Amino acid sequence: MYQAKQIYDKLAVGRRIRGRRKELGISRQELASQIGKTEKYYADIERGYCGMSLDTMIDIAGCLGITLDYLVFGRNDREELTEDSSSILFYLGNCGEKKRKKAIELLRIYLSE
């Protein structure tokens, strides 16, 4: 079965990123720092001037609490995340690996009771 080619539209991706970042009240500088990139590079992503690696996409999606499918194609096939779920993803995406693993471990313990 033939499936139409999907287009990676850097301008649309940048608009989605900027919109979500503003919804969360995060500055460009803060998000750039959280993903380990310069503010100029991050600003170019938001403006659609440049593409980004998959690793950078994953970092941005995690920080913003969005799926890669939404980030790249604007589709959100899953149900919208609740505000609480989105907050949890945001906080987990903004901490180091050691803290993230500990937080997940604590959530498992707490929720299994």
Q: How far apart are CA 43 and CA 18, in angstroms?
A: 9
Write out pLDDT tens, residues 15-60: 999 999 999 889 999 999 999 999 999 999 999 999 899 999 999 9
Q: How far apart are CA 69 and CA 75, in angstroms?
A: 6
Q: How far apart are CA 10 and CA 71, in angstroms?
A: 10
Radius of gyration of the chain (CA): 15
Q: How far apart are CA 10 and CA 79, in angstroms?
A: 25
Extents of the domains making up the chain: 10-112
Q: How far apart are CA 113 and CA 97, in angstroms?
A: 25
Write out pLDDT tens, residues 70-112: 898 887 755 556 677 777 777 777 777 788 888 888 888 888 8
In which band, very low, low, confident or very high, does the pLDDT at 61 lie, cut at 50, 70 and 90? very high
Q: Fold for 10-112, please state it.
A: 434 Repressor (Amino-terminal Domain) (1.10.260)
- Single pTM value for the model: 0.66
